[in-house]
């Protein structure tokens, strides 16, 4: 399909642009409530779900959450020829998009994001939580630069204490992206509070807000260890 710039032709039909998501500066962690999200989350939580199905559903969930996270993307007017008539409509501006998974488990969310933004660049951040202290340590970093014109979306399935996501956001923020957001599958109240304290200006989209952390800083009821379930290393 050819997409042209808008002109002054008569008799066009017009499509309305999508509405933008209202910003709420005091609540940057948004819980996406949708029956399909809840349904898919139940599959992820079920300990009987196979590795193959777990990977598939993580990808599908990411795709669903990415719609919410990108509601405010800019559109530009264009004209298309439908089979019946010319139409004034809108297309994405094609802004520079960067997906930033926190390794390992964030890797499982990349394909879902690429289904929506196939041209996106990738920024890899390797981070591991210490088993005893639950503190994150960065072991790898490969971020395209410059990021000044980029919309960067950090992806990590689990927002537990919030240490990993907060550190990842600090790292990306230091590269001064145009827009910085994050998508997680499940958050604990402790992680939500940490991000709202450390990064009150960053919108984070999550598929569920669970009850609490256990003594090992795992999310309850949660889904267990996301990386192990995704990569079959249980
Ligand atoms: C998990 C998860 C997050 C982190 C969340 O990764 O993917 O990165 O824990 O915990 P936090 O909010 O308390 O920081 P993990 O360190 O287990 O590594 P993995 O992805 O390699 O399994
Ligand atoms: N990391 C996980 O994979 N799961 C949790 O519940 C917490 C951290």
DSSP 202-233: SEEEEEEE-SEE-TTS-EESS-S-HHHHHHT-
Q: What is the CATH number of domain 27-231?
A: 3.40.50.2020
For residue 4, give the DSSP letter: B
Q: What is the pLDDT of residues 137-160, one digit of tens each?
A: 999 999 999 999 999 999 999 999
pLDDT one-digit tens code per residue, 53-109? 999 999 999 999 999 999 999 999 999 999 999 999 999 988 899 999 999 999 999
Determine the length of the chain.
234
How many CB atoms sit inside 10 A of residue 234's CB?
10
134 lines ligand 1 (CB under 6 A): yes
Give the mean model confidence (pLDDT) for residues 45-57: 98
Question: Residues 141, 167: contact at Cβ < 8 Å?
Answer: no
Quote the ligand 2 centre to 205 CA distance (angstroms): 17
pTM summary value: 0.90
pLDDT confidence of residue 27: 60
- For ligand 2, what atom is nearest to the CA of residue 222? 6
CA 3 vs CA 10, 39, 82, 117: distances in Å: 17, 37, 11, 18
Residue-level pLDDT at 94: 82
Q: How much distance in Å is there from the Cα of 85 to the middle of ligand 2?
A: 53
Pairwise CA distance, residues 105 & 153, whole Å: 15
133 is catalytic: yes
Give residue 34's pLDDT band: very low, low, confident or very high (50, 70, 90).
Answer: very high
- In what helix (H) or strand (E) does residue 30 lie, and over which residues does it extend? strand 29-31
CA-atom Rg of the chain in angstroms:
19
Closest listed residue to residue 112, CA positions, set 45, 47, 40: 40
Of 225, 226, 184, 189, the C-alpha closest to 207 is 184
Q: How far is CA 130 from the centre of its chain?
A: 24
Residue closest via CA to ligand 1's atom 3 equals 158
Whether the predicted pLDDT of 17 surpasses 60: no
Asked if 77 and 6 count as a contact pair (C-beta separation under 8 A), the reply is yes
Would you list the domain boundaries of the chain?
27-231
Alpha carbons 123 and 171: distance in angstroms, whole number: 11
CA of 21 to the centre of ligand 1 (A): 29
């Amino acid at each position: 399909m050819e997409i042209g710039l808008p002109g002054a032709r008569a008799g066009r039909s017009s499509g309305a642009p999508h509405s933008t998501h209202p910003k709420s500066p005091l609540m940057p962690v948004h819980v996406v409530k949708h029956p399909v999200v809840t349904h898919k989350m139940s599959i992820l939580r079920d300990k009987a779900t196979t590795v193959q199905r777990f990977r598939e559903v993580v990808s599908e969930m990411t795709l669903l959450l990415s719609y919410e996270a990108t509601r405010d993307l800019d559109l530009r007017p264009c004209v298309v020829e439908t089979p019946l008539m010319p139409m004034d409509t809108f297309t994405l501006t094609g802004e520079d998009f960067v997906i930033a998974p926190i390794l390992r488990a964030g890797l499982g969310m990349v394909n879902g994001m690429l289904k929506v933004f196939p041209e996106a660049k990738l920024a890899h951040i390797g981070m591991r939580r210490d088993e005893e202290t639950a503190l994150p340590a960065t072991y790898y970093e490969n971020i395209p630069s410059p990021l000044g014109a980029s919309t960067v979306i950090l992806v990590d399935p689990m927002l537990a204490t919030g240490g990993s996501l907060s550190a990842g956001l600090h790292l990306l923020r230091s590269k001064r992206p145009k827009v910085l957001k994050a998508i997680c599958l499940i958050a604990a109240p402790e992680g939500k509070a940490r991000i709202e304290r450390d990064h009150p200006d960053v919108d984070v989209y999550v598929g569920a807000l669970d009850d609490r952390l256990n003594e090992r800083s795992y999310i309850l009821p949660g889904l267990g260890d996301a990386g192990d379930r995704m990569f079959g290393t249980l």
